[in-house]
Structure 1
């Protein structure tokens, strides 16, 4: 998100957290594809518990490529005259693929001028309807405004694809947008139950602990602490201008929340504690994906957070 947005909300986040309502979430319930009770995996890989069969029709209420009316939170394909368009209603299963889309402006023409946000002009996210298979990608744009996102293999089911961007000119200049569309991946859909809320997750030998007491519709601060073998990690490397990137999706409707980092990168010695400005529009369970980098390798930890 743009720096101006992050700074304007920092005072709210600090005020909301002075009550010292820190919640040490119970270290349990994180599932993984290995079934060992902890979430793990790299960006673009499924972060899921052991799947169970379900019918493809039960994945989401919306049809592929169709989007609900604008409710904010990244659940619409259009907002304030800006629209995410794509001819793709399906993507293949089980192999890397590409998703092409265009952002059109209020004049109906493709937008080609975008501001840089955390080192990128476009952030692209993919999440399956059961909150597995998270991918955070940075697509490339052709001269005609067509973006191409190179996706890792997708499992059958319904996926929601999000484009996060800030126009550098025009009516929406300086405003951050998150638009999305859905696609269907053909095949027998296997859904996974959402792991229960938990304050910790492990990935690649690292343990991530998230603390905070968020309430829907209010600004709060979340803290994430990274340890390894019980010792604080202090060698986090810069990733997108910060030491960690945190994204969240709401269980059920897949509403999007990009949680703004308050710890800016200053050399390769970040950690162990990182802070985020958090605003969740709705109560309920949210699936969090925390990305951080060490030794040139990107790690993605996932856990479920309950918002009151």
Structure 2
């Protein structure tokens, strides 16, 4: 696999400036109602808090000072090794229907376990378990032992093929300050039933909230996405900070499950976020992407999912 080329500081600045200008237009259109809506309460959704069973499914913004802005991710997450960094695990299978720990290690170009990681959105490691048909999703923050062994605690997984993603930034070595995402597949034995994804739509519902996404991203081009959250037709203004911002947004490509992290550009100030949120999207491939938006209200984490068409 060929790693992606990281932009120069000048190119980053130009990209951010262009995205900021486009973002103003996108946010202006964000208040309009969506033309279609689907329920995102799909079985298999897990918020990264307490465990729950999974089964197959179905105010202002700023580009500066936000975690991850102006940074590129090396790779699309579809390999276990990039630039000498390798994702290894002794766990090739996990039992269905019950929670089970998943152990893994990140080794560096010297072959030794990496133990120094820089926080990205307050966490040294972001771990995702994603079912091959994108109907199961878990976002977790594992713990690391002194020897560099990480342990994630996914909730019960449905039978089928799952891809485990590790998203991290080395705190030293040749990859210091560079964002990596690596993955390995895991088989959960049992009778697996695939489900079709809901069609592309501009809005979805979860836990009584309506999440609307505005923006028409093109493959391989940085583009702003605007998100608006309402409840019972009224704007939501009590979003609480989650991972140093008001929402976390991750995308996976339909067909191969390629990974993309859409960086937030809305600054968090207290427990009164919303209703508008903004993200910097750079989706490399055309087609359908499954978006998972996580946000917190009243101490509860919600996960909304919708399918986005990228031209």
Say yes or no: TM over 0.5. Answer: yes
- The question of whether the paired residues in 2 share the 8 Å contact of 1:47 and 1:302 is answered with no
Name which of 208, 213, 221 aligns with 1:210: 213
Name which of 20, 23, 32 aligns with 1:14: 20
* SS of corresponding position for 1:102: strand
Write the mapping of 1:22-33 to structure 2, written as runs, cut at 5 A. 26-30=35-39, 32-33=41-42
Q: What is aligned with 1:57? A: none
Q: What is aligned with 2:153? A: 150
Structure 1 distance, partners of 2:124, 2:41, is 32
Task: Give CA-to-partner distance per residue, 1:222-281, whole Å, 9 cap, x none.
Answer: 011000000000000000000000000000000001000001211111000000000000
Write the mapping of 1:8-87 to structure 2, written as runs, cut at 5 A. 8=13, 9-15=15-21, 26-30=35-39, 32-33=41-42, 42=47, 46=54, 49-50=57-58, 72-87=75-90
- The question of whether the paired residues in 2 share the 8 Å contact of 1:167 and 1:175 is answered with yes
Task: Give CA-to-partner distance per residue, 1:120-167, whole Å, 9 cap, x none.
Answer: 000000100000110000000000000000000100000001000000
Task: Give CA-to-partner distance per residue, 1:44-85, whole Å, 9 cap, x none.
Answer: 6658645xxxxxxxxxxxxxxxxxxxx921111000000000
Q: What are structure 1's unaligned runs of at least 5 residues?
A: 51-70
* SS of corresponding position for 2:196: coil
Q: What are structure 2's unaligned runs of at least 5 residues?
A: 1-7, 59-73
Structure 2 distance, partners of 1:209, 1:224, is 6
Root mean square deviation of aligned Cα: 2.5
Shift of 1:42: 4.5
Structure 2 distance, partners of 1:48, 1:197, is 19
Shift of 1:297: 0.2
Structure 2 distance, partners of 1:18, 1:140, is 39
Is 1:259 paired with 2:262?
yes
Shift of 1:27: 1.4
Structure 2 distance, partners of 1:19, 1:243, is 21
Is 1:200 paired with 2:206?
no
Q: What is aligned with 2:275? A: 272
Structure 2 distance, partners of 1:202, 1:220, is 24
Q: What is aligned with 1:287? A: 290
Q: How many residues align?
A: 280
Structure 1 distance, partners of 2:271, 2:152, is 28
- The question of whether the paired residues in 2 share the 8 Å contact of 1:154 and 1:185 is answered with yes
Structure 2 distance, partners of 1:150, 1:40, is 15
- The question of whether the paired residues in 2 share the 8 Å contact of 1:96 and 1:154 is answered with yes
The runs of at least 4 consecutive aligned structure 1 residues that moved more than 3 Å come to 15-26, 28-34, 39-50
Shift of 1:202: 0.7
Is 1:114 paired with 2:123?
no
Q: What is aligned with 1:91? A: 94
- The question of whether the paired residues in 1 share the 8 Å contact of 2:118 and 2:124 is answered with yes
- The question of whether the paired residues in 1 share the 8 Å contact of 2:56 and 2:193 is answered with no
TM-score by length of 2: 0.84
Is 1:180 paired with 2:186?
no
The 1:79–1:31 alpha-carbon spacing in structure 2 relative to 1, beyond 3 Å, is: same
Q: What is aligned with 2:70? A: none
Is 1:222 paired with 2:246?
no
Structure 1 distance, partners of 2:105, 2:241, is 29
Q: What is aligned with 1:53? A: none
Shift of 1:293: 0.1
TM-score by length of 1: 0.85
- The question of whether the paired residues in 2 share the 8 Å contact of 1:98 and 1:149 is answered with yes
